[in-house]
Amino acid sequence: MNLEYSFYLSNKDFKKTCDYSMDFDWCSIDYSTLHPTPYISDNSQRTLIVLGTVIGDESVYKNDLFNQMSNSQILESVKSYNGQFAIILYCKNDKRLSLITDVTASYPIFYRIDNQEITLSLSYSDIWKRDVKCTEINYSAFYELFYLRRVFGAKTYDKKTKFLSANSILTLDSNYSVEISKYREFEFNKSTKSFDEQAHELADLIKKSVLRRISDNKNYGLLLSGGLDSRVPLAVAKNVFKCFSAGYHKNSEYEVAKAVAALEGHEHFYIQRPHDNYDQLMPNGVYLTDSMREFHSANWALIVDQFKDNNVDTVLSGYAYDYLLGDNYLPRAKKKFLGKTLPIYEVLEPASNQDFAEFFLNTISWRYKSSNSKALVSSDKYFEKIKTEINEKVDTVKARATSYLDVYQFLTVDDLSRHSMYIESSLLRVGVEDRVPGIDKDIIEYSFQIPYEYKFNYKLYKKAIELIDPQYVHFINANTNYPASLSPYHYLGTLAYNKIKAKAGFKATLPPNDHNRSWGDPFEILKRNPGLLGRVQSMENSSLWDHLPDLNRTEILKQLKLQLEGKANNIPLVNLLVGAELFLGEK
């Protein structure tokens, strides 16, 4: 089973290790199975490589169209491109190389310039294994990973390789001078139209985001959970998708997804996740995620053949709609009443004299669930360095922002492919193509124009889905086991009523536990994966402490002990520790 995809380009001599390779007069490429297959056009004037799929205003671009365009036309048109892609363009006359990323850098470009040698890859792991010397390791990036569950900015785990930011064009001239420009900057001015007008606008954008991605007559599948976002493509497109739900067992979330698919007669398939999927993913899952995300994200690569067996070559998901159009990743906390925590959120504001980066780092919702990230590293210097980098990023947008919430959302959305919660379906590329309507450039741009009072509790987003097809928003949501359309206080009343019924011994509907969610019970993971369990149990003697001496060994071992005892969910931390241990073990 192939658990890695690769695309590696360099002008230096290197050993070919992948399934496919090509030599040009200015470089060579080495790549493994990657979906869609890279489009490569080479002639006496230029080399053009398109990775992924470029989408126009209404439909998928046919790559042959690029052959009718000059180099300048391609570069000038890039702002209008949609979809998930990266473009590599080399002009042979003036020996100028251009690299282009999309709105989220969903096909990430890692590049390395060493004197007159240029190397770039979709997989940082390729560069790490082929090129990086021990003396070049950037250890501070590993500490940042443990703080943030992601690596911020352009940095990587070595001092010479960089990540090319989203919405960017990198130009390398014949003198190996690098220039990076942004071809798109987000605007934050809020719409002054009525709620209903904005709901209709958003409904239209959501429909286009789906229809654009199913315009080329592929065989489309849909990742369908029991939540609201994943059913949005079904509300838009009828009789198009085969639906797939994955889990460790058929539970209530599976039953909800099955019922959603049945609303209009879509085929529905259940994919059994291997119970030992963590063990199966080591070490290749670590390399597939570049050890910059939790390696369990690669679990889709384990089951990709089940899509192909059902004649599906392109898979859509509902990722990103919720936190772009709702309040999921905004600073918020659950309200308290009479000493009790309510399942209703309120927005948080920074204190008047509070450092914004510190406010951001203290309130991001994608932190560890059980452990304090600051306690994982014994030196404050790394935390202060991260704060400085974040504040530098803040300075680039605060003049255009209408409120601190604009800046907060920007810090989450910018370079989205580096986010710890980025699209797991991108790791399907070992076998099928992934397409994500929720990261449509028009959706992302519009998300910054929505007044925040319409984002809270997904008010505008739910209304837009209702306008598209109301049955999907009024159907049960597996996140709560109540209709997705319920307002927060209606939900609170429904929950309280059912708790009273349950306490009185009557049949009641209550929110699901981890056993009834697709990701499973975190305390069962180590039991089902003896290899992972062994690594956790032997972590005290890991070489990781020698590589990263500023990790707080005592605190981390304490958190691992709590995981082993079933007292705290530290599986995200386990992922990162094992990934870093394997990655650094290469050196």
Tell me if 466 sits within 8 A of 485, measured CB to CB. yes
Question: Can you tell me the distance from the alpha carbon of 2 to that of 538, in angstroms, rounded to the nearest whole number?
Answer: 29
Let me know whether 12 and 152 are in one domain: yes
Tell whether 484 is covered by a domain: no
Tell whether 206 is covered by a domain: yes
| Mean pLDDT to the nearest integer, 426-450 | 94
Question: Structurally, how many domains does the chain consist of?
Answer: 2
**Residue 146 DSSP code:** H
Let me know whether 212 and 160 are in one domain: no
Tell whether 26 is covered by a domain: yes
Last residue of a domain, one of 124, 148, 182: 182
Let me know whether 74 and 35 are in one domain: yes
Q: What is the pLDDT of residue 338?
A: 84
**pLDDT at residue 1 tops 60:** no
Residue 370's pLDDT band (cuts 50, 70, 90): confident
Tell whether 495 is covered by a domain: no
Tell whether 520 is covered by a domain: no
**pLDDT at residue 446 tops 80:** yes
Let me know whether 146 and 269 are in one domain: no
Q: What is the pLDDT of residue 336?
A: 87
- Mean pLDDT taken over the chain: 93
For position 174, which CATH number holds? 3.60.20.10
E strands, 194-276, where?
Answer: 220-223, 242-247, 268-272
Tell whether 88 is covered by a domain: yes
For position 427, which CATH number holds? 3.40.50.620
Let me know whether 24 and 116 are in one domain: yes
Let me know whether 155 and 216 are in one domain: no
| Mean pLDDT to the nearest integer, 514-541 | 89
- Picking from 231, 200, 228, 237, the residue whose alpha carbon sits closest to that of residue 458 is 228
**pLDDT at residue 301 tops 80:** yes
Residue 2's pLDDT band (cuts 50, 70, 90): low
Angle between helices 404-413 and 381-395 (to 10 degrees): 110
Residue 539's pLDDT band (cuts 50, 70, 90): very high
Q: What is the pLDDT of residue 423?
A: 67
Last residue of a domain, one of 471, 503, 538: 471
Let me know whether 35 and 171 are in one domain: yes
**pLDDT at residue 122 tops 90:** yes
Let me know whether 233 and 170 are in one domain: no
**pLDDT at residue 333 tops 70:** yes
Question: Can you tell me the distance from the alpha carbon of 39 to that of 36, in angstroms, rounded to the nearest whole number?
Answer: 9
Largest CA distance in the chain: 81
Q: Which residue is it, tokens 């995981």? A: 563
Residue 3's pLDDT band (cuts 50, 70, 90): low
Q: What does the block give as tokens for 402?
A: 């209408």
**pLDDT at residue 536 tops 80:** yes
Question: Can you tell me the distance from the alpha carbon of 158 to that of 555, in angstroms, rounded to the nearest whole number?
Answer: 27
311 in the Ramachandran plot: left (φ > 0), alpha (ψ -120 to 50) or beta? left
Q: What is the pLDDT of residue 367?
A: 76
Let me know whether 243 and 160 are in one domain: no
Residue 567's pLDDT band (cuts 50, 70, 90): very high
Tell whether 396 is covered by a domain: no
**pLDDT at residue 369 tops 90:** no
Let me know whether 22 and 152 are in one domain: yes
Let me know whether 205 and 166 are in one domain: no
Tell whether 218 is covered by a domain: yes
| Mean pLDDT to the nearest integer, 98-102 | 97
- Can you give the residue range of the structural domain that contains 282? 198-325+421-450+458-471
Let me know whether 238 and 163 are in one domain: no
Residue 19's pLDDT band (cuts 50, 70, 90): confident
